[in-house]
Each structure stands twice: as structure tokens, then as C-alpha cells.
Structure 1
Amino acid sequence: MGDALRALIDAVGLEVGPGEEIRSDDDRWTIDLDPDGTHAWVATRHRPIWLHRDDTLVFIEAGGAALVEQHPTTSIGSDPERHGPPRTAPSYDFPHEALFAETGVVVGSATLGPLAAEVLALPSIATTQPAGFASADVVLALRHVGHLDGGRWHGVQQDALARLVVTTVLHDNPPPSLRDNSLARVLDRLFDPAGGHSTADLLDGVGMSPRTLERRCAETTGCTPAQLGRWFRSLGVRRALTRGDRPAEVAARFGFSTTASMRRALQRVRAPETDLPRRF
């Protein structure tokens, strides 16, 4: 599933902004989230936090993380009640006092491409799973943050750690098309950007008949393997068109002879269904 998930994330497009640790001299605080991207990401190392979005309240255990769709009433806090914003002194009598202001809560922004709702089908608040437990990858990422020159994040390391937190949340909330684990190896191959896999290639070493593959795909996605393959191959085309690339250039880039043939191909695309029962 890892390769298929990576292929879907790459097809959608993901940009992750670096995180910034919240500092507060007060034990109780609330901060409103106003991310630059489509989502805010939140991770906490030492303490549990509460996340509010509209009328929804979500508890995030220490060592957990969340990816939250942008909304004007989103906030995180030290407890369920709303308090004032984090406050720190302009200076401290002793250097070690500044350490007590570190909350271990890191906040950043993330931007998913316009096809994210169709491809990833994330809830408005996605958290690491299982809920209420620490995530090993988040814990390791935040621990490494603390080892970078007294807590400062730098360049490539900063970007990589932030992306690790976000992709961990995405991994723990797989899109509907990836929820049948018996199809994992097949979908790894079907969603390979290199493409060109026959049914025999898809089933090599899987121990599944073509008929069973058709049935499992229909139960999980509402599509046949061929329809899933066409849908995946359409994502790059549609993403380019959505961002405003010239249709003629997009058609040539993706191997279509004309823009008309590209349009006809896109009209035949069927997206997987997102509301079918989960299958594990």
C-alpha cells in the first residue's frame, strides 16, 4: 500500500510548511489556527491537546498529530475550555526559565491539490491512529526536532520532518481505494506512474484470480481494475489543466495526439466511490 499511497499523494500534490513550536508561560492557553495552505497540521510531543473545529472537539494524545482542513473557527488548546492566547515574558532572569515555556506542540501548514477530496477523501479532521495512542513516527520526528541546535529547525531537515508528520496522518487515514488490504500489491502496481501492467502482471504472485480481482475492486471502489487505471492516469492530466496549463501543451505532455482525444479520454474516466463499506 505504501507505494500506491505515495503515488496518489504525488498525483494530488502536497506541499508542507515548516512547523513552529508554541511557547507559553501559562499552563492554559488557546490559539486560533489560520494556515497559509488548505490545511493546518498539529503535532504534540509532551502533552495532550484539544482541537476545536466549528462544533467538533477532538482530543489528541501526546505523541499524536492531526491534519485539519482550513476553517475560520479552528483552534487548539491545552484543555477543552477556551483560554487566552499563549503568553511569554519578554525576557527571563535565568536562561533555563525559557525552557519552561516550550510546550512541545508544533503547528504548521499544508497544501493539498484541488483533486484531494476525490483522491484522498480525508475527513475535515484526520488524526494519527489508533486514536488516543502515540504514533512512533510522530514521536521520532518531534524528538529529532529537539536535537537540532537547541530546538531550531534547519532547511532540508525542517521540511522532511514536517512532511513526515503530515504523511503519517495520511498513512493512518488511507483513501477508500486502498482500504482492502488484499488488493495492496495489485494497487501498488496499478498506480505505478510507469504504468503498462496487464492483468497477469497485476496478479503475479498475488494468489488471486482475475474474476476475484474484478469482484474485490468493485466491492472496494465501485470500479473495475481497468477503470481504476484510467482514473489514476487521468489525475496528472486533470491537475495540470486545473492549475491553468494550456490544453495543447498538456495533451502533448501526456501523449495525446490532439486536445480532442484528451477530452474524450477524460470523459470516459470514472472515479472510485468513497462511501462504500470498508473492507480489511
Structure 2
Amino acid sequence: MGDALRALIDAVGLQVGRGSEILSDDESWSIEVEPTGTDVWVATRSRSVWIRRGRDIAIVDAGTAALVEGHATITISTGSERSGPPHVAETYAFPHEALFALTGVLVGAATLGPLADEVLALPPVATTGPPGAPSPDVGLALRHVGHLDGGRWHGAQQQALARLVVTTVLRDNPPPMLGDNGLARVLDRLFDPAGPSSMRALLVGVRMSERTLERRCAAATGCTPAQLGRWFRSLAVRSALSRGDRPSDVATRFGFSTTSSMRRALDRVRPPTNRR
């Protein structure tokens, strides 16, 4: 489902902050991240941390990561009980002692577009899978971070590694409408902005009839392929409108003759069934 998922993420929009490593001279600590309207990603190299968001609790083990919906206070702790905030000495007798303050826990921000709930349907706390197993992609990203000078991320490397961590979580929590692996090739084509639009083109190399495709697509998404295609093509238009772009400019940009024709087209859009 890689191509279909990538197309959906691109349609929603994803911006990932570079993040920073938590420093603490104490073995036990807790931090609280106040709501900011953005999601929070957490990744850890060598220890487990507990994440609480309201009634939602998750354990992020070494070599794994989580993406947490950020419209509520998030608590990140080294154990099941809350501890004091991280403490770092102002100076150290020997420079190498500062290395002991590195916790291996990195925290950053991730911003998804306004249609993320409809398109991606993420749980409040999404983690890499399977639960408790180190993720090779997260492990590689965090190991590379550790090899950089002074444990710091630098420029484009930092941005790329942070995005890798977040997209790995998204890959391991795909939208429910992508759950039928037998539709993978069809959905890859359907969600390709430059892909085929006819039913015949969708079925090239796929061992199912048009009627079977209609039935399986309806069972997985609640939509026919044609309805699903119209919905996907509407995402860019609706995202632009939700950002506050002028409707007349949006209509022109996406090839509508008038604002009214754009509105009528959007009124015909039927979102897929996409609940966990």
C-alpha cells in the first residue's frame, strides 16, 4: 500500500519539526507537553518511555516511535509513575560527564493538514508496529543521529530523519480503507494524481472483474471506485479552501469554470468509510 498511502499523506500535507533530545542527569523524569494544535512525535534509542494523553496510555520501547494527537496535554515519563522534570547541571567537572545527560529520547512536532482525520483516521496515540518490536527504520534513523557530531542533527539531515520517523508511524497505522490488500494495485492507481481514470485501466493486471472490484471496494471503503476517485481529487481543493484561499482563486487553480461549478462538484463528493 506504499504508493496509495504516500499519495494520501501528500494530499493531506505533513510538516515535521526537527525535534530535540531530552537531557537529564536523573534516571527518572517526566515532562508535560501542553496543547499547541500540532501533533507530537516521540522516538527513543535505548529505553522505554510512557506516554499519557488523557485516558490513552502507550509504552514506547527502545527503537520505536509514536505520534500523539496534540489537542490535549501529553505526559512523557520514564516509568508508570510521574516523576520530577528533567534536571541538568549548569557545569560539569569533566566535559565527558555531559554525555551522561543524553537520554536517547527525542521529541518533536508534526503538523498534519485539516483533512487528516477524514483521510488518515489515526488513533490518538499511534505507535510503530508490531507493538514492542524495534522498528528497523526508526532504529536506523536514531542510530544515525547518534553518529552525528556531538549527537546533534544538522540541517537537511535532521529534517529528513524526523520525517522518516513520523512516516514510519503512519506506515504502521494505515487508514482502515487500505485494509484490503487485494485492492492495493487498484488503489495505488486510483490515488495517483496522474493515474488512469477508466475502470478498464484500473483493472489492468488485476485478477478480478469489474463487478467484483465494485463489491470489494464498497466493502472496504463504502464507495465505488468512481466515488473514491472523486473524493481523492477533491482533497487538494478542500485543503486549499480550508487554508483560507479565495474560492475564486481555488476554482481557477483547479480548472473549474466558476466558483459555483466547484461548489457543485464538491457537493457530489462522498467520503469513504474510514473508521478504526
TM band (smaller chain):
over 0.9
Which position in structure 1 is the counterpart of 2:121? 121
Equivalent positions of 1:1-280 (< 5 A) are 1-34=1-34, 36-275=36-275
Alpha-carbon displacement from aligned partner over 1:138-186 (angstroms, at most 9, x marks no partner):
0000001111112111111110000000000000000122111111111
Is the CA contact 1:53–1:71 (under 8 Å) kept in the aligned structure 2?
Answer: no
Letter in 1 for 2:30: T
Counterpart code for 1:136: P
SS in structure 2 opposite 1:66? strand
Checking the alignment, whether the CA contact within 8 Å between 1:35 and 1:108 is kept in structure 2 is no
Provide the secondary structure at the position in 1 that maps to 2:27.
coil
SS at match of 1:93: coil
SS in 1 for 2:149: coil
Query: Please, which runs of 5 or more residues in structure 2 have no aligned partner?
Result: none
Report deviation, 1:37.
4.9
Please say which of residues 95-104 and 227-236 is displaced more in the overlay: 95-104
Instruction: Name the CA distance, whole Å, in 1 between partners of 2:244 and 2:275.
Output: 30
What CA distance in whole angstroms lies between the structure 2 residues aligned with 1:194 and 1:35? 38
Count of aligned residue pairs for this structure pair: 276
Question: CA contact under 8 A between 2:35 and 2:72: conserved in structure 1?
Answer: no
- Give 1:195 deviation, angstroms: 3.9
Alpha-carbon offset, residue 248 of structure 1: 1.1
Cα offset, 1:36, TM superposition: 4.7
Deviation at 1:263, TM superposition (A): 0.6
Code of the residue aligned with 2:47 in structure 1: it is R
Deviations 1:194-242 (A, max 9, x none): 1442112111112121111111111110000000000000000000011
Question: Partners in 2 of 1:195 and 1:239 — Cα distance?
Answer: 21
- CA RMSD in angstroms comes to 1.2
Q: Deviations over 1:80-117 (max 9, x none)?
A: 10000111111111122111111100000000010000
After TM superposition, give the deviation of residue 252 of structure 1 in Å. Answer: 1.1
> Which stretches of structure 1, 4 residues or more, deviate above 2 A after TM superposition?
34-37
Preserved CA contact (<8 Å) 2:21 2:106:
yes
Q: Which runs of 5+ in 1 are unaligned?
A: none
TM-score normalized with structure 1 length:
0.96
Moved more, 157-166 or 175-184: 175-184
Q: Which string of whole-angstrom CA distances, capped at 9 and with x for unpartnered residues, describes residues 35-81 of structure 1?
A: 65520000001001110111222111111100001133311110010
Instruction: Go from structure 1 to structure 2 and tell me whether the alpha carbon gap of 1:179 and 1:202 turns closer, same or farther (over 3 Å shift).
Output: same
Output the TM-score relative to the length of structure 2: 0.97
SS at match of 1:133: coil
User: 2 CA distance for matches of 1:130 and 1:149?
Assistant: 32
Tell whether the 8 Å contact from 2:51 to 2:59 is kept in structure 1 after alignment. Answer: yes
d(CA) in 2 for partners of 1:36, 1:57: 20
What CA distance in whole angstroms lies between the structure 2 residues aligned with 1:237 and 1:266?
A: 9
Alpha-carbon separation, structure 2, partners of 1:66 and 1:149? 26
Kindly indicate whether the alpha-carbon contact (under 8 Å) linking 1:35 and 1:109 is maintained by their aligned counterparts in 2. no
Question: 2: CA distance between counterparts of 1:197 and 1:149?
Answer: 50
Amino acid at match of 1:121: A
- Please give the per-residue CA displacement for 1:18-38, whole angstroms capped at 9, x wherever unaligned: 110001111100011236552
**How far, CA to CA, are the matches of 2:182 and 2:206 in structure 1?**
9
Partner amino acid for 1:150?
A: G
